[in-house]
């Protein structure tokens, strides 16, 4: 049943931009506003948001996570750090990562 809805009505998640639009709905944005916000941040038009070919290339260019598994691109929390920066919204797991890596750990990275 879930697959039915994903195919018939869903934005496509990481195949396209569904996770990004979802993040704006988590900020109480209705769907049209959320789509416009994400499109503006990505520098595309709203119709592009569910274009899987265009979004696959754009997601790689922005390094915000892609649906397939190419080595070297941002994965998991790495991609979410970049998404939080791109969309200009806080992401709870990214904030936690920053707390966990503050202090001694972050100074070690700088060496």
Partner 1 sequence: MTSIRTCMGDGHRVELSLDELRRDLLAGSEDAARRAKIPPLDDTEIEWLADIFAYPGRIAGVQPGNEVVLTKDGCANTLYGSQVSSGVGVPLAREQGIRVFERALGFDTMEVGHPDYSFKPAKPLIALEQLTMEQAQLDCVIPLFYGAMPNMGLYFRPDGPFANPADLLPDGRIEEARTTQLEAAARLRDDMLYVAHGIADVGADGIDFDTTASAGDAEFLATLEAVGELAATTDLAIEVGMATELVLGFHGELSYAGTRLAGLWPHQQVAVVEAAGAHIFGPAVTTNTSRSSPWNVARACTFVKACSLAATIPVHANVGMGVGGVPTAEVQPSNVVTRAGVALVEIGRADGL
Place of tokens 């948001």: 49
- With contact defined as beta carbons under 8 Å apart, do 42 and 17 qualify? yes
Query: In angstroms, rounded to a whole number, what is the distance separating the alpha carbons of residues 50 and 41?
Result: 15
What is the biggest distance separating any 2 CA atoms in the chain, rounded to whole angstroms?
51
Q: Which is nearer to partner 1, 50 or 60 (CB)?
A: 50
Q: How far is the CB of 86 from partner 1 (least distance, A)?
A: 12
Q: Which is nearer to partner 1, 44 or 46 (CB)?
A: 46
Q: How far is the CB of 44 from partner 1 (least distance, A)?
A: 13
Chain residues in the site for partner 1 (CB under 8 A):
1-16, 18-19, 21-23, 25-31, 34, 46-47, 50, 64-65, 67, 75-77, 79-80, 83, 90-93, 95-97
Q: Which is nearer to partner 1, 83 or 106 (CB)?
A: 83
- With contact defined as beta carbons under 8 Å apart, do 97 and 81 qualify? yes
Question: Judging by beta carbons within 10 Å of its beta carbon (0-12, 13-18, 19+), is residue 54 exposed, middle or buried?
Answer: middle
Q: How far is the CB of 33 from partner 1 (least distance, A)?
A: 10
């Amino acid at each position: 049943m879930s697959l039915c809805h994903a195919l018939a009505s869903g934005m496509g998640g990481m195949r396209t931009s569904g996770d990004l639009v979802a993040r704006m709905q988590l900020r109480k944005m209705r769907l049209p506003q959320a789509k416009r916000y994400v499109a503006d941040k990505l520098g595309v038009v709203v119709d592009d948001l569910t274009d899987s070919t265009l979004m696959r290339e754009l997601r790689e260019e922005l390094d915000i996570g892609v649906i397939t598994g190419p080595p070297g691109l941002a994965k998991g929390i790495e991609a979410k750090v970049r998404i939080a920066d791109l969309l200009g919204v806080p992401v709870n797991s990214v904030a936690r990562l920053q707390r966990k890596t503050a202090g001694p750990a972050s100074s070690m990275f700088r060496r």
